[in-house]
């Protein structure tokens, strides 16, 4: 505690200035590098676009996560536009100055990869889980093949494939944004895990539920959407959130292929001669950021489980 706060120096221009002031932690490095940690190398003049995206994110998540949010019905419809609007804001074009994705970095990069992965892996995972149980052999074989292949390969391998090997497969001259490739790989990777988590939930649904739905004349998709999936998803919440958290933390692996996530920024900061040796402070800071996000997700999943509890076990 003393080291963290009481004996810590919060200002200063280098490590030596810090230690001259106090014997504890030197948080000045974080202060000076905060913008870098947040935005990466996103152009300073355009950072309002990142901030605006974050505000939009909060306004989009709120009605999705909380049933009691005002005007929820309309907000959910508008939420569909969120990925497109944000992508436009961050990447630019159509009237905004284009920003190359290799300038993305820091927490912003983590959020972009994490939220894209989370947002897309859930629906893809659901489709794969249903596909795996499909009666149509083509769909079933595709789903099983996809899931087992992705699960059998480490994420890092997939990221390397994304960063280097894809170029060999694509026709010459076709370039394909590195961040986009990473997003696709991370999403597919998480989808495979998601599919298996949801399959566990699907298998826990008693056969009678399917029969009741069939006997009413509900079609396959209606039965799945109205009866089977709501129950299966509820059972799967802990596993789903587990996968989310795993994916969110795995975003740090992109450092390996040269994208500067918070860890990458941290390493770059430590390479600065003025701040060498402050790895504890830097990595602690990054750890706290991840802990807050992941703990938030875990708490929300608890809240959701309690809310959806309708069994009233006697």
Cβ-contact 126, 229 below 8 angstroms: yes
Q: End-to-end CA distance of the chain, in Å? A: 47
Rounded Cα distance, 26 and 20, in Å: 10
Size, binding site for other proteins by CB under 8 A: 23
Using the rule CB under 8 A, is 222 a contact of other proteins?
A: yes
Rounded distance between C-alpha atoms, residue 36 and residue 282, angstroms: 12
Residue whose CB is less far from other proteins, 141 or 216: 216
Tally helices (H) and strands (E) across the chain: 15, 0
Residue 310 in contact with other proteins, rule: CB under 8 A: yes
Q: Among residues 89 and 129, whose Cβ is nearest to other proteins?
A: 129
Q: Give the CA distances from residue 301 to residues 88, 220, 244, 297, in Å, rounded to whole numbers and listed in that order.
A: 30, 28, 11, 6
152 binds other proteins (CB under 8 A): no
Q: Is 215 or 306 the residue whose CB approaches other proteins more closely?
A: 215
Residue 154 as a binder of other proteins (CB under 8 A): the answer is no
**Smallest gap, in angstroms, from Cβ of residue 303 to other proteins?**
17
Residues 190-209 within binding reach of other proteins (CB under 8 A): 206, 208-209
Q: Does 306 bind other proteins (CB under 8 A)?
A: no
Q: Counting contacts by CB under 8 A, is residue 217 touching other proteins?
A: yes
Residue number, 234 or 249, with CB nearest to other proteins: 234
| 311 near other proteins (CB under 8 A) | yes
Whether the CB-CB separation of 297 and 244 falls below 8 Å is answered with yes
The C-alpha atoms of residue 271 and residue 260 are separated, in whole angstroms, by: 14
Residue 201's nearest CA partner among 285, 103, 308, 43 is 308
Contact 145, 123 (CB under 8 A): no
**139 is an interface residue for other proteins by CB under 8 A:** no
Q: How far is the CB of 208 from other proteins (least distance, A)?
A: 4
How far is residue 194's CA from residue 126's CA, in Å, rounded to a whole number?
A: 7
The b/e string for 108-147 (b: 16+ C-beta within 10 A; e otherwise) is bbbbbbbbbbbebbbebbbebbbbbeeeeeebeeebeebb
Q: Which of 23, 230, 277, 296 binds other proteins (CB under 8 A)?
A: 230
Closer to other proteins by Cβ: residue 229 or 282: 229
Q: Does 237 bind other proteins (CB under 8 A)?
A: no
Q: Does 137 bind other proteins (CB under 8 A)?
A: no
The CB-of-135 to other proteins minimum distance in angstroms stands at: 12
Instruction: Please report whether residue 219 would count as binding other proteins according to CB under 8 A.
Output: yes
Under rule CB under 8 A, residue 153 binds other proteins:
no
Binding site for other proteins (CB under 8 A): 206, 208-209, 211-212, 214-219, 222, 226-227, 230-231, 234, 308, 310-314
């Amino acid at each position: 505690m003393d080291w963290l706060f009481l004996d810590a120096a919060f200002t200063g221009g280098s490590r030596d200035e810090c230690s001259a002031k106090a014997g504890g932690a030197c948080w000045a490095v974080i202060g000076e590098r905060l913008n870098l940690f947040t935005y990466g190398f996103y152009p300073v003049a355009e950072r309002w676009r990142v901030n605006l995206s974050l505000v939009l994110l909060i306004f989009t998540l709120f009605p999705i996560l909380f049933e009691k949010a005002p005007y929820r019905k309309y907000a959910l419809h508008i939420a569909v536009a969120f990925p497109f609007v944000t992508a436009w804001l961050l990447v630019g074009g159509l009237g905004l100055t284009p920003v190359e994705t290799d300038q993305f970095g820091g927490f912003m990069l983590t959020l972009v990869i994490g939220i894209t992965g989370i947002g897309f892996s859930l629906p893809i995972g659901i489709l794969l889980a249903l596909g795996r149980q499909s009666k149509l052999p083509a769909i079933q074989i595709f789903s099983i093949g996809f899931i087992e292949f992705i699960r059998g390969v480490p994420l890092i391998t997939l990221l390397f494939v994304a960063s280097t090997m894809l170029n060999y497969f694509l026709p010459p001259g076709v370039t394909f944004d590195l961040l986009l490739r990473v997003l696709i790989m991370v999403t597919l990777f998480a989808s495979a895990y998601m599919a298996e988590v949801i399959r566990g939930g699907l298998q826990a649904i008693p056969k009678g539920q399917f029969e009741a739905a069939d006997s009413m004349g509900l079609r396959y998709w209606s039965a799945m959407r109205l009866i089977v999936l709501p129950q299966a998803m509820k059972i799967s919440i802990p596993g789903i959130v587990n996968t989310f958290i795993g994916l969110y933390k795995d975003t740090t692996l992109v450092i390996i292929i040269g994208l500067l996530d918070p860890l990458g920024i941290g390493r770059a900061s430590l390479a600065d001669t003025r701040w060498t040796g402050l790895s504890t402070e830097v990595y602690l800071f990054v750890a706290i950021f991840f802990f807050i996000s992941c703990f938030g997700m875990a708490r929300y999943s608890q809240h959701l489980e309690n809310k959806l509890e309708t069994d009233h076990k006697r």
